[in-house]
Chain A
Amino acid sequence: MATTTLTRPAQHTGTTQDLRKPRRKLTVGRVAAIVVAAFIAVLWLIPFAWATVTAFKTETDASASKISWIPPSGFTVEAFAKVFQDGNIPLWTWNSLYTSAAITIITLVISALVAYALSRIDFKGKKLLMTVIIASIIIPPPVLIIPLFYQMLALKMIDTSWAIILPQVIHPAMVFVLKKFFDQIPRELEEAAVMDGASRLRIFMTIILPLSRPILAAVAIFTFIGAWNNFLWPFISTNDDSLLTLPVGLQTIKSAYGVQYAQNMASALLAALPLIVVFLFFQRQIIKGISTTGLAGT
């Protein structure tokens, strides 16, 4: 599905015939391109494949000095069972899930509201506000970890989920992207509602938001991926074992398991699974989101 979405614009601009022609012709160049593309794809899939094979091995086979893609003692789910038994993976997954969801929801609400004001409402100080928000895009989050940590200490939020969630909801780049999208919605659509005396909030909820679903989805997905995979801030702001997010939790068991290679790979795969599933469901929006907005997982 996503394939067609991405290639469709190209086909519309030219005549279909011209673009179809090279598809059938198998020139030397095209064969070479397929070989190179496939070679890179194999290289890129090897880490996944090797991790998967290792995760389904016994520890003895995994740490055998002879590399085997098909283990001598056969495949087993032992490592996964062990990880579930004595690991906290389900708890950490849950922590990642609800903190990321909270971050996404708050980000979406506050960013869409301010973006609407910047796009549609005339008010004093708007230009300054816009300039400050755009300028803040260059602030690298790692610069803030020391004062933020101290602030959380003062607010007594260290070792609560709030410490993980609250500082991650400000995404100036997302505000900018939303504002640009709102700018493109024709003003005529609102005029009838204004005549009827509808409030700004009503216009925003009933006209702007429904028209902005694609960009809202893109912003939501990227905020979620960014929050889900964030390491540095959750790592600093929580020490409580029961609050750890998946990436931070994994870091702790990596050292605890030591040389348990099969278990390490099993937990890595379990941690990777949720986002891979998200991707399979939302791949169209993700790819479109990247191509139209250039959003980074900031």
Chain B
Amino acid sequence: MSSSTLSRQASQPGTTQSRNANAGLSLRSKRDALSGWTFSAPFLVFFLVFLVWPIIYGFYMSLTGKSLTGANDSLIGFANYSEAFADAGMWRSLGNTLYFTVISTVPLVLVALLMAALLNMNLPAQWLFRLSYFAPFLLASTVVSLFFTWMYNPQLGLINDFLAKIGLPKVAWLNDPNVAMWAIVIATLWWTVGFNFLLYLAAMQNIPAQHYEAASLDGAGGWRQFFSITLPQLTPTTVMIVLLQILASLKIFDQIYQMTAGGPGGSTRPVVQYIFETGFTGYRLGYSAAISYIFFGLIVVVSVMQFVITRRRSA
């Protein structure tokens, strides 16, 4: 922004003085051009080599029959894409990914909101609550998976033991195709909700206290204040959290791969796992790259939709 101000001043025609200034600035701007690109160069090198190039090369790969065993490198056009569109396995994994995204985003936003609303009330032992809600976020997916595989254990697990104690039937958490995805959602909720919770808490504490003072003078109670002041003020935060959450959930792989390996019967296998398996277990790199691009397309569509919605809201 400041850059445009500077150049606008420089381009103003007029007295000799300003022409002199122009000459000085153009010398300066030459030096600036050099230093600008010099400062950007290290990042740019990595950016081009490890991000831009893989994107271009990946697209090229998706148009070939390339395989890990080194066979067919030749271009085959969009054959991989038409095969993928007819591939029930890909559609199923995309469906699983979308299903996970839908059913995980709702609790990951609502529970975070509840946690933040509670801690925004200046409760005693705040730090303890905050630490326990947030600490799981620091764990590696492998650790989370170990914890939950152990607790979900059908015979020895803590959760089934609890269910039995309160007279409920045992559940085959990770082995029942109808339950497995929900089991993953619960583990994911426990693992990552703390991040959204901190975003919400920070946003709540930025709401000016005068709003609440005025409301309580008008006789509005706690619930009323929450729904008429807190929630509306949080709208931008909510939009951001939902956006980040959807994009994060679409990328789901780690905890599913480690807890169910995509089973039982492919009922939890997400699209990232399908990409991984067709590429590294099935050795079909070209085909795998094509599925990556279909998935990428999906993410771009979601991002653009989110962008449009946010723009309309703020306009």
> Knowing A13-B208, A123-B36, A268-B147 touch, does A50 contact B142 (C-beta < 8 A)?
no
The DSSP consensus for interface residues of chain B is: helix
- Total chain B interface residues with beta-carbon distance under 8 A: 102
- Asked if residues B139 and A272 are in contact (CB atoms below 8 Å), the reply is yes
A232 to B254, CA, bound (A): 7
- Asked if residues A10 and B156 are in contact (CB atoms below 8 Å), the reply is no
> Knowing A65-B155, A146-B279 touch, does A129 contact B40 (C-beta < 8 A)?
yes
Say whether B123 faces chain A, with CB atoms less than 8 Å apart.
yes
Contact with B along A132-164 (1 / 0, CB 8 A): 010010111111111111110000000000000
Say whether A72 faces chain B, with CB atoms less than 8 Å apart.
no
> Knowing A14-B210, A29-B222, A146-B285 touch, does A114 contact B129 (C-beta < 8 A)?
no
Say whether A242 faces chain B, with CB atoms less than 8 Å apart.
no
- Total chain A interface residues with beta-carbon distance under 8 A: 107
> Knowing A44-B190, A143-B296 touch, does A34 contact B275 (C-beta < 8 A)?
no
* 5 A-B pairs closest in CB distance: A14-B209, A123-B36, A291-B202, A147-B58, A117-B39
Say whether A219 faces chain B, with CB atoms less than 8 Å apart.
no
Say whether B206 faces chain A, with CB atoms less than 8 Å apart.
yes
> What are the residues of chain A within 8 A of B198 when measuring CB–CB?
287, 290-291
Residue of A nearest to B289 (CB): A146
> Knowing A37-B129, A247-B142 touch, does A143 contact B147 (C-beta < 8 A)?
no
> Knowing A123-B32, A147-B54 touch, does A170 contact B118 (C-beta < 8 A)?
no
> What are the residues of chain B within 8 A of A46 when measuring CB–CB?
158
A-B contact pairs, 14 of them (CB 8 A): A9-B206, A14-B208, A14-B209, A15-B209, A37-B118, A47-B148, A63-B156, A111-B43, A117-B35, A124-B33, A144-B54, A229-B141, A265-B147, A276-B135
- Asked if residues B222 and A254 are in contact (CB atoms below 8 Å), the reply is no
> Knowing A37-B119, A51-B147 touch, does A2 contact B51 (C-beta < 8 A)?
no
Residue of A nearest to B270 (CB): A142
Distance in Å: Cβ of B186 to nearest Cβ of chain A:
11
